[in-house]
């Protein structure tokens, strides 16, 4: 067998054959199951998109109704999980709280009947239903408050914002949040998805699969750039300071957060959609200083770095939108996880269908025939 050349980070090495999503960086194309993200963002909703990603086709009306109904029914979390979460330190990061609580679901529902479609369906429903509840519960419990119970009369996105902010969101806010979830639901094989696939390939339970993906998403090189975009906009402080700030940062060879992408060499299609949503949201509330700074910064970065293929990515506008929706900054990555659970579960299911345990190789760079030196002689 010929060994492939070693590529750090497995860059450009196919790790699977997949039909879940497709990304093309030169024209800025993102498709879920062949359907353009622009079409899904304008015509579908998050739950329908989840169904499409996981089961491979758009549901008929009665299939969608049944799926939504099951998710509504499973939103509550067991009091034992709530009690466990009450013991988490209030200074703990919400991603760590989410990883622990997602893994804890496995204590309650761990029967590993991976060849039973009903078990797969129940796991999908439970994870999609309970993860938003756990994210919202930790936000309140870390301040010593009781969590807000889910409301069965609200849709998926409206219910999450309700549990988080303790008040029903207006329909535009709920709609915009739902589109944000759709945009973040899947993005081919990235670090967290690969982590989910490796864990899935051992045939462990789906709660361990999702917990491992959440842990991987938590790292600053993966989730988290949208938090830094907000910090940067605050540092800039005014529209007049955009260009001097940019010059200074580029001179120091610092990256401009929310710009550039490993795959997209044009503006990220998700950033285009998010910008339109941000515009609507800020129009409704007669403007926002940071949105104006963001628009000016995008223009300035395009002029300076556009010829290098550096344009706004999905994270550039998402933080602004989330803050406006009342989501605290350290919950941005957990919100990303709420959406990406869809993609992780789709890859889990795809992996199970053709499973072979991941077992890559290595190039050994160490020595051979080394002698053992007794401790007193070292």
| Number of Cβ atoms within 10 Å of the Cβ of 325 | 20
| 195: contact with ligand CMC by CB under 6 A | no
Nearer to ligand CMC, 117 or 219 (CB): 219
Which is closer to ligand CMC, CB of 139 or CB of 187? Answer: 187
d(CA 185, CA 335): 11
Rounded CA-CA distance 210/199 in Å is 9
Question: In angstroms, what is the minimal distance from the CB of 151 to ligand CMC?
Answer: 31
Instruction: Report the residue closest to ligand CMC, judged by CB.
Output: 260
Residue 169 near ligand CMC by CB under 6 A: no
CB of 311 to ligand CMC, least distance (A): 10
256 interacts with ligand CMC by CB under 6 A:
yes
Q: By rule CB under 6 A, what string of x and - marks binding of each residue 47-86 to ligand CMC?
A: ----------------------------------------
* Nearest CB to ligand CMC, comparing residues 220 and 237: 220
For ligand CMC, give the closer residue by CB, 132 or 258: 258
Query: Helix (H, G, I), strand (E, B), or coil: what is residue 31?
Result: strand
Distance from C-alpha of 376 to C-alpha of 370, rounded to nearest angstrom:
17
Q: Which residue's CB is nearer to ligand CMC, number 174 or number 320? A: 320
**Contact set for ligand CMC, span 305-364 (CB under 6 A):** 305, 308, 310, 313-315
Q: Measure the CA dihedral 65/69/70/72, to 10°.
A: 140
From the CB of residue 251, how many other CB atoms can be counted at a distance below 10 Å? 8
Whole-angstrom CA distances from 346 to 200, 351, 355 are 11, 9, 14
Rounded least distance, CB 238 to ligand CMC, Å: 21
3-state secondary structure of 132: helix
Q: How far is the CB of 261 from ligand CMC (least distance, A)?
A: 5
Scanning 137-145, 153-161, 195-203, 260-268 for contacts with ligand CMC by CB under 6 A, the matching segment is: 260-268
Q: Which two tokens stand for residue 223?
A: 């989730």
User: Minimum Å distance from CB 310 to ligand CMC?
Assistant: 5
| Tokens 């929310």, residue located | 258
Chain position carrying tokens 């709920």: 174
326: left (phi over 0), alpha (psi -120 to 50) or beta: left
CA dist 109 to 119, 124, 130, 197, Å? 10, 12, 13, 20
Total residues in contact with ligand CMC, by rule CB under 6 A: 16
Q: Which positions are annotated as active-site residues?
A: 261, 315
- Rounded least distance, CB 209 to ligand CMC, Å: 19
Contacting residue, 47, 257, 273, 277, with ligand CMC by CB under 6 A? 257
d(CA 114, CA 208): 13
Nearer to ligand CMC, 106 or 258 (CB): 258
Residue 225 lies near ligand CMC (rule: CB under 6 A): yes
Nearest distance from residue 51's CB to ligand CMC, in Å?
22
Residue whose tokens read 């015509």: 43
Q: Is-contact 334 98, C-beta < 8 A? A: yes
> Is the Cβ of residue 139 or residue 267 nearer to ligand CMC in the bound state?
267
Q: Out of 75, 130, 261, 267, point to the residue binding ligand CMC (CB under 6 A).
A: 261
Q: What is the DSSP letter of 22?
A: E
Distance CA 264, CA 29 (A): 9
Q: State the residues that interact with ligand CMC by CB under 6 A.
A: 187, 225, 255-262, 305, 308, 310, 313-315
């Amino acid at each position: 067998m010929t060994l492939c050349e070693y590529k750090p980070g497995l860059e450009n090495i196919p790790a699977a054959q997949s039909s879940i999503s497709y990304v093309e960086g030169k024209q800025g194309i993102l498709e879920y199951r062949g359907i353009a993200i622009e079409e899904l963002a304008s015509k579908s909703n998050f739950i329908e998109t989840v169904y499409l990603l996981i089961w491979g086709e758009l549901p008929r009306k009665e299939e969608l109704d049944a799926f939504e109904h099951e998710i509504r029914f499973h939103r509550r979390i067991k009091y034992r999980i709530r009690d466990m979460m009450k013991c988490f330190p209030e200074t703990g990061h919400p991603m760590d709280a989410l990883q622990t609580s997602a893994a804890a679901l496995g204590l309650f529902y761990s029967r590993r009947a991976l060849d039973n479609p009903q078990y797969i369906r129940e796991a999908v429903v439970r994870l999609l239903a309970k993860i938003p509840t756990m994210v919202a519960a930790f936000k309140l419990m870390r301040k010593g408050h009781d969590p807000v119970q889910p409301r069965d009369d609200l849709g998926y996105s409206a219910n999450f914002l309700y549990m988080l902010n303790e008040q029903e969101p207006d329909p535009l806010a709920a709609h915009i949040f739902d589109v944000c979830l759709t945009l973040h639901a899947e993005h081919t094989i990235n670090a967290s998805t690969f982590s989910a696939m490796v864990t899935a390939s051992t045939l462990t339970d789906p709660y361990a699969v999702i917990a491992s993906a959440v842990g991987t998403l938590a790292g600053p090189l993966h989730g988290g750039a949208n938090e830094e975009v907000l910090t940067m906009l605050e540092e800039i402080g005014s529209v007049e300071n955009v260009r001097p700030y940019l010059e200074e940062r580029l001179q120091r060879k610092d990256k401009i957060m929310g710009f550039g992408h490993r795959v997209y060499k044009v503006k990220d299609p998700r950033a285009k959609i998010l910008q339109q949503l941000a515009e609507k949201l800020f129009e409704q509330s007669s403007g926002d200083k940071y949105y104006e700074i963001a628009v000016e910064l995008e223009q300035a970065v395009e002029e300076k770095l556009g010829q290098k293929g550096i344009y706004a990515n999905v994270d550039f506008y998402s933080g602004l939108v989330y803050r406006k929706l009342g989501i605290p900054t350290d919950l941005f990555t957990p919100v990303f996880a709420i959406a990406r659970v869809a993609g992780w579960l789709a890859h889990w299911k795809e992996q199970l269908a053709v499973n072979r345990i991941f077992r890559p190789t290595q190039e050994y760079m160490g020595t051979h025939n080394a002698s053992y030196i007794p401790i007193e002689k070292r």
